Amino acid sequence: MEEIDITLKCIVVGNGEVGKTSLITRFVKGDFTDEYKKTIGTDFLETEFFCESADENVTLHLWDTAGQEVFSTMTRGYYRGSAICVLAFSTVDRASFEAVKKWMGRVEEECGPIPMILMQNKIDLLSDSSEVSLKDGDRLAEELDLPIVRTCVKDERGVRELFDTLVGTYFELKEEQEAAEMIHGKRVIGEEEKETSSEDLSQKSKKTKSADKSKSKPKEKSQEKKTKKKRKVRKDQSTFIDISKSSIPSKQDKCAL
Ligand SMILES: Nc1nc2c(ncn2[C@@H]2O[C@H](COP(=O)(O)OP(=O)(O)OP(=O)(O)O)[C@@H](O)[C@H]2O)c(=O)[nH]1
Ligand SMILES: [Mg+2]
């Protein structure tokens, strides 16, 4: 079978000190440090990744952004062309949790409704009195209609799962969208059959309706639920940016807008 190399640009956003750099470094290099060195502007790492849930190999371009507000104007331009997004917050920082919607809005302004995932990091520090509880996380996930993964980047817990879920969602949505486009295409061709009598057409329409019903009924509910849980995938999201040439978003990057 022909191997199709898909590269996905993944943007990681969230307040300062929530663990964005730690996540990417842990995932790509397997390293972790307790030392905090704030990111200035943006950083970038690339890795090959086998997504088990989608059974697909992908190249991930992971864009690490500064969470400190002072860099926000500078980093927003780098969101463009992102196919997927991690919205990170920390279990021990209420403000980072409350800022999630703001980060989500910024990404959507630049990229549209791309697949996103909530990352509740520093779960090793969870206690009865921690600033963000598991329930808080669940409620936010419900409200934003997004999946959530709890991580402890420090101990490498949840890191692979996070990317597997996010990339898996990307492929599921892509498939759904392609299937929908195919159905739509067939309908258009059907409408152009000028020689068909009106009787034939009504028979056809009945058949289509009953076929649609028999096909979709048993799946209808779960399918509806599935779709609700996911966000749209844009057609051009499986494209890339050759960042080896420049760290500034390229024309190719912009064309995904
Ligand atoms: N206890 C604990 N500490 C963590 C975890 N993940 C990251 N940290 C620590 O949190 C601090 C901040 O991590 P960074 O990854 O630099 O945070 P950031 O989100 O990139 O911050 P900015 O670059 O300022 O936006 C560092 O001291 C890390 O060692 C975790 O899962 N548990
Ligand atoms: Mg950082």
Mutate which of 29, 36, 151 for ligand 1? The one with the most ligand atoms within 8 Å of its CB, which is 36
**pTM of the full predicted structure?**
0.77
Determine whether the shortest distance from the Cβ of 158 to ligand 1 is under 6 A.
no
CA distances 215 to 164, 182, 207, 219, 223, Å, are 29, 15, 12, 8, 12
Q: Which residue has the higher pLDDT, 46 or 209?
A: 46
Residue 203 counted as domain residue:
no
* pLDDT at site 177: 87
Determine whether the shortest distance from the Cβ of 16 to ligand 1 is under 6 A.
yes
Rounded CA separation 162/147 (Å): 9
Residue with tokens 């759904």: 176
Number of separate domains in the chain: 1
At residue 72 the predicted structure's pLDDT band, cuts being 50, 70 and 90, is confident
Residue 210 counted as domain residue:
no
For residue 19, the CA-to-ligand 2 centroid distance in Å is 7
CATH code: domain of residue 63: 3.40.50.300
Residue 66 counted as domain residue:
yes
Residue 113 counted as domain residue:
yes
Residue 202 counted as domain residue:
no
Determine whether the shortest distance from the Cβ of 39 to ligand 1 is under 6 A.
yes
Residue 198 counted as domain residue:
no
- Predicted confidence (pLDDT) per residue in 178-227, tens digit: 888 887 765 454 444 444 333 443 333 333 333 333 333 333 444 444 44
Full residue range of the structural domain in which residue 147 is found: 7-177
Residue 160 counted as domain residue:
yes
Rounded CA separation 142/77 (Å): 29
Q: At what angle do helices 159-191 and 20-29 cross, to 10 degrees?
A: 90
- Predicted confidence (pLDDT) per residue in 111-165, tens digit: 999 999 999 999 999 999 999 999 999 999 999 999 999 999 999 999 999 999 9
* pLDDT at site 3: 61
Residue 232 counted as domain residue:
no
Average pLDDT of the chain, as a whole number: 79
| Chain centre distance of CA 219 | 24
Rg of the Cα atoms in the chain: 21
